[in-house]
Structure 1
């Protein structure tokens, strides 16, 4: 087993024994770190140590989001019932997502012993914290009810837009069950089918001039794309081993088309500046190679020439230092920020005679600023182009924050 080849991305890992039998299936936010941890710890729990001693081979399925990894892990455990998934924990430790048999079905977290009266259930999910967080997030897309019908006043979640109004008779059983069916389809891995259904209903409501309902449905469609990134049926990852590469290639092609970049985009570099109350200013450069984080290429920059808070001057310093090195040439440069940050980058490019494609990405409205354009390019949350730009921007932000926290900690220890 070559652990070095594992990616630093979300996914599901599969351990097999000497008889090529699946003995354990797990999910990870970072496949390389999680799988490596089994073989680096000097002391493991006895049951875990027994499992590790039997591992003869491993495979993995790389995915694009934690939610996707969670659903795929549960589906595979249910399908293969690996020995150590069953025996590492008691059944009572696993959580299931349960849909009740009621006029207005509720979505609940339940243990195995509580599933007998379920209309439908999903799981088991080994990590209770993760499934609780994800079900809470999904309520923003599928506003299911946990309240009592025909109550005197609206429940708390109705005011948050996370209940359709069962409590105050704002929704019919037919409308409510339609939403529950979409939730079931989503949890079964059929994201695309859910979006088609929501889009069809949105157009119908718009045709009927129910614009408020149409807007709500539009927001649900956008939220699905935002929380999951582009995915289809989870089983597709098993059927097509190259699916992740195909998705990333499609993202990059769409990105080049939307930005008007003529050359093929392979390497993207993103720059972010972070500081703490005007001190400890740091810059970061993160890299996507063929759409995937390339952490070996990440670089940090401690700002040396700029005093106080000046993001424009800081981004100029970082870019000058970066392009003074003979590193691989980027096909696209992204600076975190709006028109001001973009203009700062363009000034350095002009000074150094660089012709690389460069854009700015503003956080607030996720607007893309292009050189020579007065108005920003507004990409929808569900568009592949925006999702890949957001991925690298957020990674740059995380990387820069981590570095300047380290600087603050080191400074504190030396005082």
Structure 2
């Protein structure tokens, strides 16, 4: 009856909305945002969620959890699409399909300088270098770097040029003919600059233009009897042709496009993205989504906008394996054109090469669903076996593991890691600084951390509000007994087990407060517990060491008369570290805002006396 009254309330509220573009935000009982969507007619779209029938199971499940919603009125659909994308990024709703954080994508970087190098990085900086990407994975980056270096015979060693020109013997790659040999001094700066320009053209997907330039240069060099230069151009052209033969050619040279395909497998779905540059299939990305995430054509507009906001380049054509209605297509086209700074076409092809490429992308998405489903089923079987072994009443969908790490009694922290559905969920990791424990009392430290953690259960603030199905402790029966008593005092019934180590500090068994549970013969269970224990230890130790280093940097400066915590922080922020402060000149230290001349002299003299 209560659910029916809630649905009637939400439907009546939706029917009062205007029929104009906007964004709607669905919230659950705890006030958390669980879904964000956009519509060109808010009244029609939002009311559909609360009408009987006509919804797929995922949407039905999401709608059943909605306790209230809010809307933001927009003047155009493109404005709504932009705002929807921003809200999804801000709230990371449970039922929206989402991209991983773009900070984790790898780029290929051509450094600045007289002798630029090709390197890969995960950080884009405003340093004047050229960046290409982001790519779908580091394996793709290594493959591209290897192909470019091999084609142009670029150096991949750690030597620095021009400093190391003429120093030492050339490496084995030069002897094998796989490096042009800048270190020998036989390659001029102009010649090297030409190779780097060629690398930039390849990475930019313009190998056809590079091939034309090389052909012209080869012919000119041959006519002027510069046969070594002509031979070098010939070899690079051959390498480019070989590289193109190994790639899948799907369009004519010079053509570019990205292809998005969506496959819905019912219990899970996937988006596959194929990237075509210079007519060649150059990269592929798969994005599988679980049973809760709603993947449909409507949500794909926000997904595609988010995909390109994390990248620096939008190809002239974006192909879709699914249809978008005329207004949705126009909004997406306008959004991408605005991002690119030029006209972009968004097409759902019905025939020809483009249609064939969409079908190829769809087949990749279907395979991603199959692989994801297989992985999920494997994890489910493993967690069910763990539940059986430990006698758990519920499936351990969320496991929290705790490890205490300390450096003396001054620096003590307890790390908490989370395993959700068999996968480490690093966004939920937490580190607790232990404040109320004297000495190195592991039991008291773990009690303080878990007491602070469970105080947040069910408060609706973030992932802390989620109840763990199982708690694992890096420790033995004493740890388990202590934490079980703590949870009982707080009225919580959460299973607790310890992860016992052997004399070599490696995982040996699980234990309750009454005895041990042998997992040595359960290989998959053993490997799961081993990985959890190692990850908890790694995370906790890393946080403790970081806190120690921070204190050491500060304490070294605060030993200096007149330098307190505030001034120490000013110096560290300005110079970026203690090493830079030690080597700084007096005038540089005095130039720091908030540091007097007397303070600067004290700092300068302090490190010169040592």
**TM-score, normalising length: structure 1:** 0.47
Higher relative contact order (Cα pairs below 8 Å, separated by 6+ residues): 1
- TM-score w.r.t. length of structure 2: 0.33
